[in-house]
Structure 1
């Protein structure tokens, strides 16, 4: 049984609001019944005619700006292909019954593009809400003065709404670009040699708070790998770019440096020349399976955790130093080494995983340790999912969170 076809032309005519369709040349292609009724024009007077021939500005009002403002809005839509919600406009109409007599009218227009297959604007949807009676009802006996004030307030509110909408769209575009950039820069998760591991990255839901966190995995000679995580101060597309620069620099330094601390020293010197890298944090580790050791150094970052097979948690906090670029002079960074047994697990993360507003960071660290101990028998992938569920499932992602789990 086939569904009945929808008569979209009839739907358009029956729309309860005022809606018209314009060509890119601003000629009326169609107008619904409500538009014709509220404007006091016939279909023959509107369809096929240039917009501003049908509705010119009031020639008796030298301050009239309705036509100019509408033309500017439609031009923005034609050039950008994006919706434009105008502030409330005073746009007088000539009375259809009394030529030469102009009626004071107030309108709230929204203009939207209809794109063709090639992405070009083929039609403009011009939707108008008439608010004349609302403005007059608020005017009281003082009439004109009160109406002008009401219109001014309404205009400012609509302008602010439009600014917020443009910011939202711009931020959404920045978020998409930043996430795509981060996906291209960060290494794909997967096994390192024959060792199991898992990587998780959860971006912030807010477009302004995305893409400051990063992680890196470096294969080194012998049965060794370098694992690092970091966090850039700031958010958005700029933070994503800084993140990519720092991650690449540390990855290169880790291949030639004599241990994690020296690699962080090189990164700190490099960070001084990167705008936006000030006070970034990072922790760098070297896992050596031949010797059964983890060597580490931290630049202002929360400590890695070593989860022992028996459930005991060891915080790797014996080599902590200030964030990158925090000292004006070069000072060697500290480094520490701990041993591990087969079946232990190394966990690195960023502060978005553990921090909560109005809560001491030690509470978040304890929450992480308890979750790791409880699910220690899981494989790295399942363990990562359990940790995210325990620490992030009950709250919105207001900051990035990165998590790296390596089975030793």
Structure 2
């Protein structure tokens, strides 16, 4: 499913920690409001400036090596592509409008790389957290400089270890959930096989993110006469819960397809069933009844991307004339629509889930255009080869953030 619109700029500015975005040349690209407050600067004083021109070392305290240490950290990030967490740093700052004056300040700094498709660092997230008041509080207890430093470092190390342990436990839990959810999904989805004497190529790729798996389904149902029903769907949500909801909805639609005269009524029956299933809200699905006796496809969609019909001449028709809102969206309607289109022998019908075409921050039409272009490059290809080609051309090589199901059948 498409993500709701997210204002990432607003989130960046609302972060409680100071965060700056730097180029590999260590020039400010952007800073959030918390960073400006900590630094006592305005945006125009930072954007486009070299970091160490904006914040030079304190010449009155040559023992402080903050500029050197920060520069080495940033260079390590660029060279290795790995994040670098700096220990507690004294980095004195000149108050705005008070040249020659320096304030003693203490910081924890984390530098995080952002990598491009080629793996090279394209920017650095520079996060700072001020601990000046904490250091002053420790000093107020009359401890020596060495004792204060040791206590601060020990506490920071303990916090860091706790966070690392928590992250490891979460990763293990997510990996286990992914493993179980995928096994459950595999058990519920039908294996590729001829249906009613017709073969469909089926491809499924789980999301590379452990948290984003198991909401998609596909199904092929043999119907009386020389007919079959083909469906795909997408449950909102991920993990075991989504896999369970997916299994219930797929089975319900399969049963409804066998006892209703057409896809619209099958979706209406599914919607009534979905109303009783927690987690089924806003599920999308599309189902097509293919009839070889009449050479027609009758289809209906509940908020799902349109099936694509590749004609023998290499052109593509998107079946988008019978689309209504997703399931259980509480929208009054007299009945779901359906449409019928003819097909000629040698045409290829493709049904898919949105992981194949949708990309974050991109209009869905761009993804549909990619799909159409991919299909038109492979006219006359058999179903299995076409399915492989489409998956290879449309899925990102560095992994995808959503499940993807694809069913391709030659008519």
- Aligned residue for 1:216, secondary structure, equals strand
Alignment correspondent of 1:344:
347
**TM-score, length-normalised on structure 1?**
0.64
Q: Note the C-alpha offset of 1:313.
A: 0.8
Alignment correspondent of 2:269:
266
Residue 408 (structure 2) pairs with residue 402 (structure 1) = no
Alignment correspondent of 2:208:
205
Cα distance in 1 between the residues matched to 2:281 and 2:334 = 16
Equivalent residues of 2:286, 2:304 under 8 A apart: yes
Deviation string for 1:119-138 (max 9, x for gaps)? Answer: xxxxxxxxxxxxxxxxxxxx
Alignment of 1:25-64 (within 5 A): none
- Aligned residue for 1:209, secondary structure, equals coil
Q: Where do 4+ consecutive residues of structure 1 move more than 6 Å?
A: none
Deviation string for 1:41-62 (max 9, x for gaps)? Answer: xxxxxxxxxxxxxxxxxxxxxx
Cα distance in 1 between the residues matched to 2:296 and 2:331 = 33
Alignment of 1:100-119 (within 5 A): none
From 285, 288, 296, the equivalent of 1:285 is 288
Residue 186 (structure 2) pairs with residue 179 (structure 1) = no
Q: How many residues are paired up?
A: 271
Root-mean-square deviation over aligned CA pairs: 1.7
Cα distance in 2 between the residues matched to 1:399 and 1:294 = 28
Alignment of 1:4-403 (within 5 A): 141-327=144-330, 329=332, 331-403=334-406
Cα distance in 1 between the residues matched to 2:374 and 2:331 = 39
Q: Where does structure 2 lack aligned partners over 5 or more consecutive residues?
A: 1-138
Equivalent residues of 2:290, 2:296 under 8 A apart: yes
- Aligned residue for 1:359, secondary structure, equals coil
Deviation string for 1:281-334 (max 9, x for gaps)? Answer: 000110000111000000000000111111111111110000000125563100
Deviation string for 1:339-397 (max 9, x for gaps)? Answer: 00111111100000001122221111111111111112111000100101110153412
Cα distance in 2 between the residues matched to 1:393 and 1:198 = 21
Cα distance in 1 between the residues matched to 2:144 and 2:394 = 61
User: Which one is further off, 376-385 or 146-155?
Assistant: 146-155
- Aligned residue for 2:261, secondary structure, equals coil
Cα distance in 2 between the residues matched to 1:376 and 1:340 = 15
Cα distance in 1 between the residues matched to 2:160 and 2:280 = 38
Cα distance in 1 between the residues matched to 2:269 and 2:170 = 38
Structure with bigger gyration radius: 1
Equivalent residues of 2:286, 2:301 under 8 A apart: yes
Equivalent residues of 2:196, 2:227 under 8 A apart: no
Cα distance in 1 between the residues matched to 2:370 and 2:221 = 29
Cα distance in 2 between the residues matched to 1:192 and 1:264 = 21
Q: Note the C-alpha offset of 1:277.
A: 0.7
Q: Note the C-alpha offset of 1:257.
A: 1.2
Cα distance in 2 between the residues matched to 1:335 and 1:158 = 58
Cα distance in 1 between the residues matched to 2:279 and 2:405 = 20
- Aligned residue for 1:314, secondary structure, equals strand
- Aligned residue for 1:294, secondary structure, equals strand
